[in-house]
Structure 1
Amino acid sequence: MSMLTPSGMGGKYRITGNAYPRMRRPRRRGRIVAGLVASVVVLGLFGWGALQLFHVFNGDDGGAKANAGPQSTPSCKPAPTPTRTAKLAPLPQPAGVTLNVFNATTRGGLAKSTADELAKRGFKVGTFGNAPTPYDKKVTQSALVVAGPAGEAAAREAGTQVAGSTVKIDPSRKGASVDLMIGDGFSVLATPADAAKARIVAANPPPPKPVCTVPTTAAAKPKG
């Protein structure tokens, strides 16, 4: 009896041929575990990226603020007190202002046409013509009103007639007359309505703004 013949069969059944049944290899659990770990890593990277985008769109620079060091705080000091001991003099009426009109631009005819219009508004026009050399072609704003200390109130009154003009007080100047230097930014005189509004502001000018400075700090040295 062959060794391949089951017992009790009396040799009736035999296994012949050279093909034998093979057992299936056991599945490798390591591949499944590696796949799960890779999935967790990918999901973690996606979550981290989404968190960074959230901080960027919400203006949160994260640790950058912590590493920026102490912030510089502006130091503000009151503006210097104007060099006058008395209150501002009340604005005079146009008839009480002697005004000289000068053209500091390259456009011709501005001094005469402006002087004529100011005379119609009640100002006393002393003279008109080209601007003196210190101001000729050097006035960039609409107008520069120049006067001495005695003509400070008259200068503010004259400045109401030109929007965007500035007043300059020359301590060495004598008398109360006023020079109106027409600048490159000039187009036309203010309308009577706008001049009236500007007169209210000129009669009660706002206080000077405080002067603010930002202290500089030395850059933090990297740790060795």
Structure 2
Amino acid sequence: MLTPQGLKGKQFRITGTSYPRLGPPPKRGRRVLMLIGSLLALALIALGGVQVVDIFTGKGKHGTAQACASAHPSASAAGKPLAAPATASGSPSAGASGSPSAAGSAAPSTAPSALGSPLPAATAVPQPQTVTVNVLNATDKAGLAAKTADELKKRGFTVGKVGNAPSALQKKVPGAAELVAGQSGAGAATLLGAQVTGASTMADTRTDGSVDFVIGDAYTALLDPNAAAAALTEAMKPSPSASPLPGNC
């Protein structure tokens, strides 16, 4: 190859065993960052491996079981069976006051009342003739208490007081009915709650087995006897307990 005039070709020849660098040399700070990132990645991989080993070897299950056992009380601490309701005396009960529990179920609820402890869950219901029921009208519909009392009497209940509800409950029962009873009247409240759709319950401090049947704004009529019997059977069914998911209490 001919060398252009005025240029000396020897000046542009590459000599020796090394080649000139085509870019800037790598910085030391970049190497340090790459080393730190590699160490962090290895640490995360090691931590994940330990957790996977714990899952497959079953470690930690014993502690979870102890936590679940402490969160749920034993069956022996459950409520005692309902005692037999007291014999109906036929005397009118005092007017009940307090805040009602949520309505919407034929089975009486067990929400606590400001007047007493909550009603226990009924394990048995008495015969209608042993239950004294006071029918009280908390609406502005005249004659509703007397009509309902006659229907309950036909079904075998012993009717006590019939009239208007106390002023504390007037126009304050949004559901179909509110059943007010004491501790010994839980079974009777369950029996009466099956006679109407949308009844709620409230506990007070009475000691007998009587029940106040307070008629609410949504009340129209009692259920058909066959429908009431079916509602009572449904209300007495034990509530199924859901099995916990693995790893959950």
Report % sequence identity: 45
Which residue number in structure 2 is paired with residue 131 of structure 1?
165
Residue 145 (structure 1) shift: 0.5
Please tell me the root mean square deviation across aligned C-alpha atoms, in Å.
Answer: 2.5
1:75-94 mapped onto 2 (5 Å cutoff): 84-86=79-81, 88-94=122-128
Deviations 1:46-86, CA, capped at 9 Å, x for gaps: xxxxxxxxxxxxxxxxxxxxxxxxxxxxxxx97xx998333
- Against the structure 1 CA distance between its residues 207 and 168, is the aligned structure 2 distance closer, same or farther, given a 3 Å change threshold? farther
Q: Which amino acid aligns with 2:210?
A: S
Which residue number in structure 2 is paired with residue 181 of structure 1?
214
Q: Which amino acid aligns with 1:112?
A: A
Residue 202 of structure 1, aligned match among 192, 215, 235: 235
TM-score calculated relative to the size of structure 2: 0.48
Residue 123 (structure 1) shift: 0.4
Which residue number in structure 1 is paired with residue 223 of structure 2?
190
5+ residue gaps, structure 2? 1-70, 83-121, 243-249
> In structure 2, how many angstroms separate the alpha carbons of the residues matched to 1:144 and 1:198?
17
> In structure 1, how many angstroms separate the alpha carbons of the residues matched to 2:151 and 2:164?
17
Aligned residues: 131
Residues 143 and 180 in structure 1, CA contact (< 8 A), matched pair in contact too: yes
> In structure 2, how many angstroms separate the alpha carbons of the residues matched to 1:95 and 1:126?
12
- Against the structure 1 CA distance between its residues 185 and 90, is the aligned structure 2 distance closer, same or farther, given a 3 Å change threshold? same
Runs of 4+ in 1 over 6 A off after TM superposition: none
5+ residue gaps, structure 1? 1-76, 210-224
- Against the structure 1 CA distance between its residues 96 and 186, is the aligned structure 2 distance closer, same or farther, given a 3 Å change threshold? same
> In structure 2, how many angstroms separate the alpha carbons of the residues matched to 1:116 and 1:131?
17
Which residue number in structure 2 is paired with residue 156 of structure 1?
190
Q: Which amino acid aligns with 1:199?
A: L
Residues 143 and 182 in structure 1, CA contact (< 8 A), matched pair in contact too: yes
